[in-house]
Amino acid sequence: MMARTLAAPVTVAGTSLHGGQPVTVTLEPAPAGQGRVFRQGETWIPADLTAALGARLSTELSQGGATVRTVEHLLAALAGLGIDNATVTIEGDELPILDGSARPWVVAIAQVGTVVQGERQPPPPLREPVTVQQGDSFVSAVPSDRLQFTYGIDFPTAAIGRQWRTWCPDTEPFAEAIAPARTFTLQKFIEPLRAAGLIAGGSLENAIVCDDEQWLNPPLRFADEPCRHKLLDLVGDLSLLGPLPPVHVVAYKASHVLHVELARALATRLQT
Q: Which residues are catalytic?
A: 256
Residues in contact with Zn ion, counted by CB under 5 A, come to a total of 2
What strands lie across the sheet with 86-90, from one edge to the other? 10-15, 22-29, 86-90, 36-40, 43-46
Taking the complex as a whole, the smallest distance from the CB of residue 169 to Zn ion amounts, in Å, to: 18
Nearer to Zn ion, 30 or 238 (CB): 238
How far, in Å, CA of 199 to CA of 220, rounded? 21
| Strand-strand pairing, 208-210 and 184-186 | parallel
Neighbouring CB atoms inside 10 A of 178's CB total: 30
In this chain, which of 225, 233, 237, 261 binds Zn ion, going by CB under 5 A? 233
Instruction: Return the range that interacts with Zn ion (CB under 5 A); candidates 7-15, 26-34, 209-217, 230-238.
Output: 230-238
Under the criterion CB under 5 A, does residue 237 sit at the interface with Zn ion?
no
How far, in Å, CA of 40 to CA of 249, rounded? 32
Q: What mask of x and - would describe binding to Zn ion in positions 41 to 70, judged by CB under 5 A? A: ------------------------------
How far, in Å, CA of 139 to CA of 249, rounded? 7
Taking the complex as a whole, the smallest distance from the CB of residue 7 to Zn ion amounts, in Å, to: 27
Instruction: Return the range that interacts with Zn ion (CB under 5 A); candidates 37-45, 175-183, 203-211, 249-257.
Output: 175-183
Taking the complex as a whole, the smallest distance from the CB of residue 260 to Zn ion amounts, in Å, to: 13
Give the interface with Zn ion as residue ranges (CB under 5 A).
183, 233
